[in-house]
Structures are given as structure tokens and as C-alpha cells.
Chains A and B, each alone.
Chain A
Amino acid sequence: MRILDLQHIKKSFGDNEVLKDIDLAVEEGQVVSIIGPSGSGKSTLLRIATFLETMDDGTLSYNEKPVVTSINHIASYDHKKAIEEAMNTFGLVFQNFNLFPHFTVLKNIIDAPIRNQKRNKQEVIQEARELLKKMGLSDKENAYPCELSGGQQQRVSIARALALKPKILFFDEPTSALDPELTLEILKVIKELAKEKMTMVIVTHEMQFARDVSDVIVFMDKGVIVEKTTPQKMFTSDNERTKAFLGKYYDQQETH
């Protein structure tokens, strides 16, 4: 099953063309990492996939059901109901968590499934407690986000996304706001999810992590996909641009 299918995505902000004809498909159970320098368009691509930004042209399908089609080279979004349905199939973890500060940890996790998916409250609470246990936060269910470390907050936000039972989970630089120690904490959680065959798309600057966890790595630069291949092939690529970008990563490794 192809969970996500983006084709011929084009997006400009004013005169600045940030995405130039991008294709990205994600199969069920796949983990896809998107790497590339800042300003390469990877976050914009993720924001388009999650409807936080609209594309200028291209097509988008979730579960092989088209929600955005291209008509005369202009993206045409399906009606509200279809988009809501598509939005219910994915979860998104933000760089700076975006937890609701006035809700407790538990309420952050259970409010959306109860209010928006109209699910049984007791059942949702039970599942939320299991998620918290998995995240190592069982003792924090009554804490407020401001009482937690960045790493704990990000784990809560992952639990919040998972509580809606998404078929695919997007991560937008999930460790960029964290120090190296807390970063490892989050990467561990994501690796666990990968083991459980959670379908994921991860925008990241953590090269070693991308290499370890991904089935496919996409390298983007200046609004185009330079390479899209397995970690092994990516890290032994002959492509000059890829080598230059990953070269910086190898330099970093050596100085460690």
C-alpha cells in the first residue's frame, strides 16, 4: 500500500522557487529520511504534505486516494471533507514541539482523540497511559509541559501524534531544538517506532541516525531531489553534490 504519494510538486514564495518538480512516494512500513542543507525546501515539502502549506502545482494522494490533483498546471484541492479524512491519516511532530501549555501531559494526548475522533474516553486514556509508559513518562501524566525538559516535551508530542493512530508519522527536524544528549533520547524513540514498522518521513540533520534508521534517504538541494536511494548507496555516492554535502558530515565525524 502506498501511504503517501506526492508528484510534480511545485512551490514558490514570491519569486523564490523553493520546490521544483518534486516526487516522493512512501510505502507502508517504510522509513524515509529527507536530508539537505537549510533552505533546500525539505521542510516546505513536509508542510505541503501535511496541508500547512499549499502547493502551486502537483498531486497528492493518501492511501492511494487523490486529495490534490493538477488541473491545467494548477493544484486543485479536494473538498474540505476529503482533506479532513486525509489529515486523519497522518501525524506530525514539530521541531519545537508545539504542545498545548495549558493542558497537562495526559490532556495533551487525549483531547484530540476524544474531541475530534469522538472516541471512547476511558479507552483513549488507557491507550495514552500505555504510550506514556512506552515513552518513559508514566510519572509525568499530570505535569504541565513547562515542567518538562525539551526531550520529555518532544516525547509527549510524539505520544500525542501517535494517540490519533496515524498510518504515517512526519517528523520536522524533531531534534533541532535539543542538545546532543536529549537528541539521542528522541532518536531512540524513533528507532523503536521504526522497529515496530511505523511508516515515517523524517526531515533531519542527524546523518548517522538517517543512515541507521532509513529504508530510503532523499537528498534535497535548492528545491530539487539530487538523489533518492538506500543509505548504503547514498553514503558511497559518486554524485559531486552529495559528496560535498556528506563530506561535511564525514569531516565532523573525524573531529569527534
Chain B
Amino acid sequence: MNLMDLFVQLAGGMGTTLQIFFLTLIFSLPLGLIVAFGRMSKHLILKNIVRVYISIMRGTPLMLQLLVVYFGPYYMFGITISPMYRGVAVIIAFALNYAAYFAEIYRSGIESMPKGQYEAAKVLGYSKTATFFVIILPQVIKRILPSLTNEIITLVKDTSLAFSIAYAEMFTEAKAIAATSRSMMPFVAAAIFYYIFNAVVAFVMETIEKKMSYYE
């Protein structure tokens, strides 16, 4: 089996993989920030609910969470699942899971900020919102970039878990072709795809890191 032909055959699936990747980031990066606020809240009930949420998301397999989100509505509430829901379920499960990880990364960054930055901002008349978005968050992003890169690279590989609910992303298709053609080549193609994808992610993140290294 020719690799080039395989890439053409897998092109549609690759598009779907990219879609899972970007949609997950678009939803989980802001959601993670909100979760981080909940985790750091002085409101004890809220804080503990968020703590339990993070603990479940990090403590159970993403594949299992995906199955629960996909089949849950039927088994728990008897709602008939439409085939359309498959893609939605993938994004919901991924976004919820990754938001938990991102929340902890944000929190570590926010808590590492020196108190003096808040005090200077207060004395200079910055509102609480302006202090966070103008003074604190830009510095936090710089601090957490290496941890974010790690998590985003893991996300690229985790997209393959969507096969567990037979969602037609690249890995699901590669598996199907491998089964019918009785060949290893589809997996080789898949490996090359993930590797290049992650090389691009690493390059982009490095570029951003460099761009932010104008100050210490």
C-alpha cells in the first residue's frame, strides 16, 4: 500500500481530527480560566464543587468520560441519540476534560504571581478586572506556556480516543482501512500524521514563547 494513497484516503479523517483539536482548544482554554476562578474562589461550596469536578476529570480515563457523555443521555434519560450527536459528544467530553487540566495550569500561574504586582496595581488605581486582564494575565500566560504546550501536544494524540464511539476522525479511519487491507501501513501513515502535527504545534508554541521572551 502506497503511503501517498493512504494520506489521500485519510484526508477527510485528518480534517475531522483537526476540527476536534481546534474546537476543544477554543472551548477549553476560556472554560479552564473560569474553572480556575471557581477553584480559587472564597465561596467554599463553589470551590469544593469545582475541586470535585477537577478531581473526577483528572482521575478517570478520558475514553470513559467520552462514553458517558455519548451514551449517558440514552441510558440515564432515555433520550434517543442521533448520529449527529457523536461529534458534539466528542467536543463536550474533550472540552470538559481539558478545561480541568488547563484550570490547574492557570491556577499554578496565577498563584505564582508576586503580591507586589497586585499592590502596585491597586495603588495606581486599576480596577480588579483591569488588574487581572492588563497586569496579571499577560504575565501568567508567559509563565504557563511550557505547561500549556505539554497539554496541547497530549491533546493532539488524545483526539484518537474518539474512535471509541466510532467518530470518523483520522485514527478511526486508519483502523478501519488496516482491518480491511490487513496492512500495517495505515498505522504508519497515522503515526506520521500525528508526529508532523505535533512538530507543528511545538514549533508554533516555541515561536510564541520567543515572542514573549522580551522581558524576564
12 A-B residue pairs with CB within 8 Å = A52-B119, A87-B122, A90-B123, A94-B119, A100-B135, A101-B139, A101-B216, A102-B142, A111-B134, A115-B130, A160-B124, A161-B124
Most buried by B among A91, A100, A111, A160: A100
Instruction: Kindly state whether residue A54 has any CB partner on chain B within 8 Å.
Output: no
- Of A94, A98, A101, A116, which is within 8 A of B125 by CB? A116
Contacts of A161 in B (CB 8 A): 124
On whether the beta carbons of A144 and B125 are closer than 8 Å, the reply is: no
With an 8 A cutoff between CB atoms, is B117 at the interface?
yes
Pick from A52, A112, A146: contact of B124, CB below 8 A: A112
Residues of B within 8 A of A90 (CB): 123
Q: How far is the CB of A106 from chain B (nearest CB, A)?
A: 14
Are B126 and A112 interface neighbours, CB within 8 A?
A: yes
The main secondary structure of chain A at its interface with chain B is: loop
- A55-98 contact mask (Cβ, 8 Å, vs B): 1 or 0: 00000000000000000000000000000100110111010101
Closest beta carbon of chain A to B87's beta carbon, Å: 39
Interface check A249, CB cutoff 8 A: no
Kindly state whether residue B59 has any CB partner on chain A within 8 Å: no
Q: A60 CA to B175 CA in the complex, in Å?
A: 74
- Measured in the bound complex, the distance between the Cα atoms of B142 and A102 in whole Å is 10
Q: Which residues of B contact A (CB under 8 A)?
A: 114, 116-117, 119-120, 122-127, 130, 134-135, 138-139, 142, 214-216
A50, B120: Cα distance in complex, Å: 11
Tally of chain A residues near chain B (CB < 8 A)? 27
The answer to whether B215 touches A101 (Cβ under 8 A) is yes
> A174 within 8 Å of B by Cβ?
no
Interface set, chain A 5-51, CB cutoff 8 A to B: 50-51
Please indicate the chain B residues that have their CB under 8 angstroms from the CB of A94 in the complex: 116, 119-120
Q: List residues of chain A with CB within 8 A of the CB of B139.
A: 101-102
Indicate which residue in B123, B130, B215 contacts A145 across the interface (CB closer than 8 Å).
B215
Q: Is the Cβ of B215 less than 8 Å from the Cβ of A98?
A: no
Cα–Cα, bound, A90→B124 (Å): 9
Give chain B residues whose Cβ lies under 8 Å from the Cβ of A52: 119, 122-123
Give bound CA distance, A52 to B216, whole Å: 26
Contacts of B130 in A (CB 8 A): 115-116
State whether A164 touches B122 (Cβ < 8 A): no
Contact between A116 and B138, CB atoms less than 8 A apart: no
Which A residues touch B114, using CB under 8 A? 98
Q: Which residue of B lies closest to A115 (CB)?
A: B130
A111 vs B130: C-alpha distance when bound (angstroms): 11
Shortest beta-carbon distance from A224 to chain B in Å = 26
* Residue from the list B116, B127, B138 in contact with A102, Cβ < 8 A: B138
**Contact yes or no, B122 A144, CB < 8 A:** no
- A111 contacts which chain B residues (CB < 8 A)? 134
For the complex with contacts A99-B120, A101-B139, A144-B214, 13 further pairs of A-B residues with Cβ separation under 8 Å are A51-B122, A84-B125, A96-B116, A98-B117, A98-B120, A102-B138, A102-B139, A102-B142, A112-B126, A115-B126, A116-B125, A116-B126, A161-B124
Q: Kindly provide the distance from the CB of B94 to the nearest chain A CB, expressed in whole angstroms.
A: 31
Instruction: Verify if A117 is at the interface (C-beta below 8 Å from B).
Output: yes
